[in-house]
Amino acid sequence: MALHAPSPPSPVLGLLFLKYISDSFALRRHELSTELMNPDGDNYLDNPEQRAEILKDRDEYVGANVFLGPRGSTVGEAARSGVAARHCQADRRLAGWASWRS
């Protein structure tokens, strides 16, 4: 019986997770913004600087079970920085290495 080394996880899984946390953050930010700008709501703030501070507060997101990655860890940032392309290149290299080893 031959034992095979486990294949590395696909970078696609990481990108899917990044998309999920990015979308969750954007949704919560939209909800907060809507709450803070609604004059009939309990959380209405007239001052734009105060609203901006609330939107930056990590506790507002963590309290709603929104996972926060490091600053800049959004799908848009990943695309602009070329992270997705580097992941695909690494995946191709690993796939080539795995086929060479078999």
Which residues contact residue 36 at a Cβ distance below 8 angstroms, ignoring those fewer than 6 apart? Answer: 43, 44, 45, 51, 54, 55
Instruction: State both tokens at 84.
Output: 């997705």
Helices (H), 1-102: 11-37, 48-56, 58-62, 75-81, 83-101
Q: Identify the pLDDT of residue 98.
A: 46
pLDDT in tens, 74-89: 666 666 666 656 656 6
Residue 3 has pLDDT above 80, yes or no: no
> Predicted confidence band at 39 (pLDDT cuts at 50, 70, 90)?
very high
pTM: 0.64
pLDDT mean over 7-13? 70
Domain ranges of the chain: 11-16+31-101
**Over residues 56-69, mean pLDDT:** 88
